[in-house]
Amino acid sequence: MFLAEVRAAAAEPEDESTCRILDAALDAYQEFGLRRTTMDDVARKAGIGRATLYRRFPQKDDLVTAVGLREVRRFIAAADIEISKAANAEDRMVEGFVAVVRGLREHRLLNRLLSSEPEAVLPGLTLHGGPVIALARGYLKEKIEEDQRAGFIRDFDAEPLAEMLARLIHSMVLTPEGRIPTRDERQMRAFARTYLVPWLRV
């Protein structure tokens, strides 16, 4: 469902005014949080009229979802650039892990909401988080299958492996505290090379 929305949204190019609205909403959410940001705040920041804003996003939740989906698309696009620079399947695993962990650690909106309004975001990332796991799994599965088609790794069902990777990251987003390195990139690469690369040899 979420996956379909992301794909549909990705296929539909944003017009300039939608883009302005989403930029203004993202700014406001990062600054004031979801709860305290009103539709009026967003209209004012975007420099458009209330009527225009409500025509495009009839409810506050529609706007929150649209901003969230754009952040997910941007996140995946940024990680994809790092992954595509890697020379082989093993390096794609290592550089992908580093890019994703760094990207999540530095993600301003996600960290802002997790720390100031956990009650607003935790249910959607946990009990109702199936679509988020599915989205990450779908992306990772495609990446693994590309390397399988190219003959770089053996031909096995990539979906469970993709989901294990998605779930490792899922747990690290929700509970960063632990013994898997998340700050020192040299240590992160060493961890991924020792403990994650062997996953490709299913």
Chain positions contacting its own copies, by CB under 8 A: 114-115, 118-119, 122-123, 125-127, 129-130, 132-134, 137, 156, 159-161, 163-164, 167-168, 170-172, 174-175, 177-180, 191, 194-195, 198-199, 201-202
- Rounded to the nearest whole angstrom, what is the least distance from the CB of residue 121 to its own copies in the complex? 10
Residue 169: C-alpha distances to residues 36, 39, 52, 71, 122 (Å): 29, 33, 38, 17, 15
Q: Which is nearer to its own copies, 77 or 174 (CB)?
A: 174
- Rounded to the nearest whole angstrom, what is the least distance from the CB of residue 168 to its own copies in the complex? 5
Q: Which is nearer to its own copies, 24 or 166 (CB)?
A: 166
> Which token pair is 172?
């690290």
Q: Indicate the angle between helix axes 130-149 and 158-174, nearest 10 degrees.
A: 130
Q: Which is nearer to its own copies, 57 or 191 (CB)?
A: 191
Residue 149: C-alpha distances to residues 18, 164, 200 (Å): 38, 21, 14
- Rounded to the nearest whole angstrom, what is the least distance from the CB of residue 164 to its own copies in the complex? 6
- Rounded to the nearest whole angstrom, what is the least distance from the CB of residue 55 to its own copies in the complex? 35
Residue 89: C-alpha distances to residues 30, 124, 141, 188 (Å): 36, 32, 13, 17
Q: Are 169 and 132 in contact (CB under 8 A)?
A: no
Q: Which is nearer to its own copies, 9 or 133 (CB)?
A: 133
